[in-house]
């Protein structure tokens, strides 16, 4: 059994592998990864909810769009995610994800900021189906 994610060596940016036995778990673990790397997740309370619905031409693009949306919500709405409930991920084109995010307004005093992640890149990006489920390798601009 894999951990939700692991950091990989990279010279200037942040490189991670994110795992999930099924697609909903992969998307959930991606959110966990982002907010675990950026903030002190122990202080984030699930006080507010937001629903995210995205559609993309293929699964690989949908995964990157998901990461971008989470970062967008954090950077423009100051929404820190505590928990994710992915209710749907479809692989039929157009691919879709629907999820309920629970969290609260970002509070620098309680949540800190370990590292600022700007955006996922296409550099070395891979989304693969494996014997254990799914594995995504992503490099983030920081």
Chain position carrying tokens 């940016």: 13
b/e code 100-109 from CB counts within 10 Å (16+ = b): ebbbbebeee
The helix or strand, by DSSP H or E, that contains position 99, with its residue range, turns out to be strand 95-105
* Alpha helices per DSSP H over the chain: 23-38, 59-77, 108-111
Q: At what angle do helices 59-77 and 23-38 cross, to 10 degrees?
A: 30
Domain spans of the chain, in order of start:
5-141
* pLDDT for the residue 90: 96
* pLDDT for the residue 7: 86
Which residues of the chain are modeled with pLDDT < 70? 1
Q: DSSP code of 124? A: T
pLDDT tens-digit readout, 24-38: 999 999 999 999 999
Topology annotation, domain 5-141: Archease, Possible Chaperone; Chain: A; domain 1 (3.55.10)
pLDDT tens-digit readout, 99-109: 999 999 999 99
* Contact in structure between 97 and 52 (CB atoms under 8 Å): yes
Rounded CA-CA distance 114/98 in Å is: 28
Rounded CA-CA distance 142/140 in Å is: 6
């Amino acid at each position: 059994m894999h951990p939700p994610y692991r950091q990989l060596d990279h010279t200037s940016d942040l490189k991670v592998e994110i795992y999930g036995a099924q697609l909903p778990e992969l998307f959930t673990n991606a959110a966990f990864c982002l907010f675990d790397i950026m903030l002190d997740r122990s202080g984030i309370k699930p006080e507010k909810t937001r629903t995210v619905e995205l559609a993309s031409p293929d699964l690989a693009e949908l995964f990157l769009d998901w990461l971008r949306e989470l970062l967008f919500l954090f950077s423009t709405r100051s929404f820190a995610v505590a928990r994710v409930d992915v209710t749907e991920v479809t692989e039929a084109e157009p691919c879709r994800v629907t999820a309920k995010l629970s969290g609260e307004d970002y509070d620098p005093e309680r949540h800190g900021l370990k590292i600022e992640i700007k955006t996922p890149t296409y550099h070395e990006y891979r989304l693969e189906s494996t014997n254990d489920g799914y594995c995504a390798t992503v490099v983030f601009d920081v």
